[in-house]
Structure 1
């Protein structure tokens, strides 16, 4: 298998500068080792280990932490069991068309309004509660924070952390240390676990962008390691982790209802995100891969492929920056962050449906109060009439005697 990959995929004329072969890469064994594609095979079992650890962490640690912080789940009206509607909901569609609603109302003997209400409540039952969202944010916060501290500690002493030209000096004969290897392995294993769990996680507005981001990140990590772009890759991963743990911590306090702390962390996240993704990433990292690298070798296929992945990430950064700036605008003029437009809330249709369901509940309560008040008024009138009639009877008794 390795021979086939080396012949058809990992060809030296594709991934290495012109005139250099894989056999020509020599490094000092005391400083590190030469990166090979087989080194990344450990990321697959590591991804499943992350999923198992996450399962235990969310149910043992995150749930208890959510209770300590006072996370409350919204009480939703449950849909009563209807076998025909339930079968249609699970096997056909969760949002039936108007014709389907008419057909279902005829089959079940219900009005169209009741069928629409049933589907709305049934969809709300499947929506994740605040505790689930809090647990997911806590797990991501833990990883991003630990990864950022570990990555910063391993890179702050390297020369390419301060001077990006050192990323290419001596390329591709650059040794990979054990710290850099494990940094790569854990990052790729974590993003593999996120990609595997994307179907069961909370579905957010930027679901498609998140999937593209995970896929591009996995390709970027794996390719940069195999082609020995490790120095640039570590800088990219560090920049991404620098702002993500602020976002996840802001989400945690948002679900806990601690608005003041949430808004403060969101402002810090916005500043760090905009500076790292729109200033440092394009003008330091992308600039050095596009222009500084050509001072050391001529462009080749791997050069274009690597920069294309970086530009895809930059396009996603611009998309998220637009959403964050819109939230900052709301924060400045409204005084608070209304909701996490980047990746926290579900679709607006579901929110409107839930609000409509709540309004239906309020209307029912109002109707009950109105009926109770009318009954009370009617009862009072009956009592007054009885008392009046009793008085009239008493006044006529002497005459009768």
Structure 2
């Protein structure tokens, strides 16, 4: 799958930033050249760094791979998150023609030995449902995807761990959780309580194993996130807009103090929670449960209540829509504290730190060359006018459809329980 990669890689012992992009013209499906070295059964090539924003030199073209060559699916919710993702690519590929059934618009490229497709939610559309549509389209078009990443910004939960703006939170499964919990999916029960139902799938074992390897690496040496960000800005000065903000702009207010005004410049500084300075500006990485829902979390007391119930350290809006059909690792850069003092000034830096973590993870993740590709559904595509499609979809809606969905999901786990208690079955099994 990776023998038709366009870029030779020098033998290196770790990630090293390069000073300029380099592209190569290459025919598809070529054999491994003599310039490539074999190491531990894998073909190693010198990693070259490129930028989507930097044009190719005259006479040089981008390589065009097949849909089956892409094994990493990277989903973003916001354009600024996609910009950070694109800035992480070591090289870009020529876009592929897409079937009309797939409404996503992709960026094609690679990091280390991995071929990657990046997609962003449509402008102005957020939440779990929109994320699910994007992910399902991606899996349909790229059947070889075996690593899924949801990378972007999120709101932190202060208190349980020392989370600061710009830190990275990575979903981490526990005994009864996939690492992502949909906090707004459930049903109302007695005394006004809200009971969450169902559970979400975990990321693939190979992805979780790579996370363990990276965590072990960080026990003995520092994360490469700062170096990756420096290289990003060196290769593309426009990305300096995604650099670290001033530490004085990292303000955590008491949960009981509500924000007033357009900015926090006029907020009462006596309500700030005192926190010691860190010895470095480098972001910390936290592993834990991420709470996902269809509404922005911007109320500190609600944040604290839900975080206590769920054990979560981050809130976001898309991941729960992906986990069942696109089980992925969720990586969030912290841009606010999920309270009324939300501001956008940290969003770009937070998007960059999350994307840099994703890159560092991919660079230590071996490609699964012999993995079984997902089969493309054998369906015949029939062109349907958009007006007819909308009419047909609208005809399927009915009142309280979300409540019905919740009931079905709860009852699904009880399917066929009657059989185990049926006298005929128990008599037969006891023979």
TM-score interval, smaller chain: under 0.3
* More strand per residue: 2
Give me the TM-score of the superposition, normalised by structure 2.
0.21
**Greater C-alpha radius of gyration:** 1
